[in-house]
Chain A
Amino acid sequence: MLKLRGGIAAIALICLSGSGHAADPLAVGRQMLAEDNPGEMWVDRGKKLFYEKRGPKSASLEKCDFGMGPGKLEGAAAQLPRYFADTDSVQDVESRLVSCMVEQQGFKRADIAKTAMGNLDRMSDVEALVAFIASKSNGMKMNVPLSHQKEYDTYKAGEYIFYRRNGPTDFGCINCHGENGKRIRLQDLPNMTDQKQMQEVVSTWPAYLGTQSNLRTMQWRLKICYWQMRLPDLAYLSDVSVAITSYLNHQGNGAVIQVPGVKR
């Protein structure tokens, strides 16, 4: 099983780089890294944290409803982001998790925001938890619903923002992610107007990033994209991030989830 997964990841990575001539000399390394993914250690840690009584209310996350019912994690992430009546908002896996950490465990939202992205001095609990929760949809197909009006609105807002050009670089997401085989320096850029490549992206986040020596979620990915675009700091769990994630994940519906991914 594990061996098979490595193989799939490696093939997918090669496909992702499309017609880029740089694919071949890089392929060996990508496959070697994909076969043994340190991100698995975040999944294990997230599992431990999920069932542990934590926070001021000393509660586990077993009552957290990710859309399939309290504590039901199997396949939940495959259907996120979606609308939740209790928060009257569309939430992705991470914003939903944080709602539960605040409501059920009593953590302070502002404190979570400060530590949600780990660094070389400190591992993040949130990143580990997201890795674990997302991994419970492994092997299942992405199936993000559009039924509530807010889901439609969020999805369309995400699409709009994907194409919205702004800031000193005049960039929107589309300018780096609109054509096949493109790179910034030697960083391959998936073409997110191509459904196959979009599926490859949405089914492999969260991912372990070698450059970060850390597991990262879409929150981090989008934040760094905006940083490179010379725009202000993307607010943690902001509606911008949920909207873009809604757009990407829904576009990627049908992709078989296999997380954590391994990326550069």
Chain B
Amino acid sequence: MSEPMKIRATLQVDTADVRILMLHPMETGQRKDAKGAIVPMHFIQNVAVAHNGKSVLDAQWSQAISRNPFLGLRVKGAKVGDKISVTWTDNKGDQRTDEVAVAAGQ
């Protein structure tokens, strides 16, 4: 059961500034829990970002990306209302997709 991502996509001229926050433990496999047991490796391996259904960025991550990860990118040729959808997939096969519309910048 995963929590929603926090995605902001704002238009600056013709480029969408996309900022994505995810809630994920990004366990390295090194940490011990309160009872002293090793917490198995558990991290997002792939983040796929699409603009109106077209892939624009595909991130492959290791366990060295910080807990509660952040991903920022910029998409050219975007318009207000365009759809930005983001899917992450972790090494246990868990997956989550969230989508936002590009908003007007200041």
The answer to whether A38 touches B70 (Cβ under 8 A) is: yes
Query: B17-61 CB contact bits vs A (8 Å, 1 = yes)?
Result: 001010101000001011000010000000000000000000000
Q: Is the CB of B4 closer than 8 A to any CB of chain A? A: yes
The answer to whether A120 touches B25 (Cβ under 8 A) is: yes
Pick the residue among A36, A38, A120 that contacts B23 (CB under 8 A): A38
- Number of A residues contacting the other chain (C-beta, 8 Å)? 16
Q: Is the CB of B68 closer than 8 A to any CB of chain A? A: yes
Residue among B25, B31, B67, B68 with max Cβ neighbours from chain A (10 Å): B68
Q: Which residues of A contact B33 (CB under 8 A)?
A: 120-121
Q: Is the CB of B83 closer than 8 A to any CB of chain A? A: no
The answer to whether B21 touches A41 (Cβ under 8 A) is: yes
The answer to whether B6 touches A40 (Cβ under 8 A) is: yes
Q: Is the CB of B93 closer than 8 A to any CB of chain A? A: no
Distance in angstroms between the alpha carbons of A121 and B35 in the assembled complex: 11
- Number of B residues contacting the other chain (C-beta, 8 Å)? 20
Q: Is the CB of A21 closer than 8 A to any CB of chain B? A: no
Distance in angstroms between the alpha carbons of A229 and B23 in the assembled complex: 33
The answer to whether B3 touches A213 (Cβ under 8 A) is: no
Pick the residue among B6, B8, B31 that contacts A41 (CB under 8 A): B6
The closest CB in chain A to the CB of B4 belongs to A44
Query: B78-106 CB contact bits vs A (8 Å, 1 = yes)?
Result: 00000000000000000000000000011
Pick the residue among B10, B19, B25, B31 that contacts A36 (CB under 8 A): B19
Distance in angstroms between the alpha carbons of A120 and B68 in the assembled complex: 11
Pick the residue among A2, A3, A121, A213 that contacts B34 (CB under 8 A): A121
The answer to whether A41 touches B23 (Cβ under 8 A) is: yes
Distance in angstroms between the alpha carbons of A41 and B105 in the assembled complex: 22
Hey, which bits of chain A sit against chain B, CB under 8 A? 2-4, 35-38, 40-41, 44-45, 119-121, 210, 213
Contacts A/B (CB < 8 Å), 26 sampled? A2-B8, A3-B10, A4-B106, A35-B19, A36-B70, A36-B72, A37-B21, A38-B21, A38-B23, A38-B70, A40-B6, A41-B6, A41-B21, A41-B23, A44-B3, A44-B4, A44-B6, A45-B3, A120-B25, A120-B31, A120-B33, A120-B39, A121-B33, A121-B39, A213-B67, A213-B68
